[in-house]
Structure 1
Amino acid sequence: MQDIRQETLNECTRAEQSARVELWEIDLTEVGGERYFFCNEQNEKGEPVTWQGRQYQAYPIQGSGFELNGRGCAARPTLTVSNLHGMVTGMAEDLQSLVGGTVVRRKVYARFLDAVNFVNGNSDADPEQEVISRWRIEQCSELSAVSASFVLATPTETDGAVFPGRIMLANTCMWTYRSDECGYTGRAVADEFDKPTTDIRKDKCSKCMRGCELRNNTGNFGGFLSINKLSQ
């Protein structure tokens, strides 16, 4: 999860916020296309919005359904873009409806935009004040002469990533001691209570991280220590 900069958080709570600008990057390089940078508006000079030195061309584009939801299925936002001059139609025909392309959504308060966007410059310009989310194009849900809509999914839903097919315990190792997964093949060290022993018959693992530490084998610990944080 991205850490939001304190200055951006402060801007969120101001009584009079500057306008929030949405910047869109559509990266089709993985499906044989190019990268496009769009914004639904221009800067105060009537020119393309510039962010981090890159221009985002003014083009009708709108996203919806990005609200966070802690229950039920993951969000399926929709990105709708103009099909001016059949531009999207041509790309959809050549690039398998753009499925697999990446969409990057950047939210930036106008106060932090590059100085070049303003007639009198901008002393508050800060290229680090952005909130980013990344999505994959899952399907083209609508394509007409006027516009095209695409359903988006989080990258982890489309890259084949899965949880391990076994029980996930934070502090307990699931491996059989001295198995291939365990990887330890050294001398006797300790019994199941982590008490030192040199007797190979009493040498057993406590199934805890301490057991791995005693054997200098922490890299093969079969538990999931990080899931403890989920309950905090």
Structure 2
Amino acid sequence: MTLHVPSDSLKLLTKFEQGAMIDLYDVDLSKIAGEKLIFRFHAGLNHLRKAIVWQGKTYEPYPIQVTGFQKNGQGTSNRPTMTVSNAFGLITGLVNSFDDLLGAIVTRRQVLAEFLDAVNFEGGNSRADPTQEIVSQYLVERLTNLIPSESATFELALPCESDGVMLPARVIIAHTCCWRYRSSECSYTGSAVADERDAPTNDITKDKCSGTLTGCKLRFGKNGILPFGGFPASAKLS
């Protein structure tokens, strides 16, 4: 992914000493909800101990952490993971209502604190500049873990990995895993579970994965980390 860095931000980022870089997140469910529904989060407060305001929009203080933004030049890029608080059941309600949030758009906005809107500072901010942001977008590819009253973790993918295009060494397929069963990519090494139609079996000679998310969950658990070699979110895009 190529990111555009505004010139003023680039100048400051190349200095030996620089201000704090703030991560702001938009989680846009509009496409899957059928109506405009956007949540804006930041894991902190401004200098006034209030919610951060950027480009006139409020980013609510909410525990959120996204890691794994590095890119791998061979095949697909690394997939970031987004972990958010589920302390009040907000995420449980959303994943139950909107199919695990598959296809939701997550926008990461990186902003140097000195360019934030004037309302974030007691004396205003003469350097406020709404154009000074570094923007990257991802899609929710799958829900990997949901702990009631605690947290939820999602795997994210670049939009180009979920829109039907061909990437180096990989073809984007929504509901079919391309890994060979029990290979290093699949990583399953346990006992017999089910045949190719997901019918239970204890016979190792009949143990074959269906190549679907269902088959993967039978072996790794519904809320386990699934090494599924498909791209479920691509089916959400038109």
Does the pair score TM above 0.5? yes
For the aligned residue pairs, the C-alpha RMSD in angstroms reads: 1.4
Q: Who is 2:144 aligned against?
A: 141
Q: Who is 1:153 aligned against?
A: 157
Structure 1 stretches of at least 4 aligned residues deviating more than 6 Å after TM superposition: none
The letter for the 2-side match of 1:141 is T
Matches within 5 A, 1:33-44: 34-44=37-47
Q: Who is 1:176 aligned against?
A: none
Counterpart Cα distance in 2 of 1:22 and 1:133: 11
Q: Who is 2:5 aligned against?
A: 4
Q: Who is 2:18 aligned against?
A: 17
The letter for the 1-side match of 2:21 is R
Matches within 5 A, 1:1-232: 1-32=2-33, 34-145=37-148, 146-162=150-166
TM-score, length-normalised on structure 1?
0.67
Q: Secondary structure at the match of 2:153?
A: strand
Using the TM superposition, give the Cα deviation of residue 94 of structure 1 relative to its aligned residue in structure 2, in angstroms: 1.0
Flag the structure with more relative contact order, 1 or 2, with Cα contacts below 8 A and sequence separation at least 6: 2
- Structure 2 gaps, min length 5: 168-238
TM-score, length-normalised on structure 2?
0.66
The letter for the 2-side match of 1:135 is Y
Structure with max Cα Rg: 1
Using the TM superposition, give the Cα deviation of residue 2 of structure 1 relative to its aligned residue in structure 2, in angstroms: 4.0
Q: Secondary structure at the match of 1:122?
A: coil
Using the TM superposition, give the Cα deviation of residue 3 of structure 1 relative to its aligned residue in structure 2, in angstroms: 2.7
Counterpart Cα distance in 2 of 1:115 and 1:16: 23
The letter for the 1-side match of 2:92 is T
1:188-209, Cα deviation, whole Å (9 max, x unpaired): xxxxxxxxxxxxxxxxxxxxxx
Percent identity over the alignment?
A: 41
Work out whether residues 70 and 77 of structure 2, in 8 Å CA contact, stay in contact via their aligned partners in 1. no
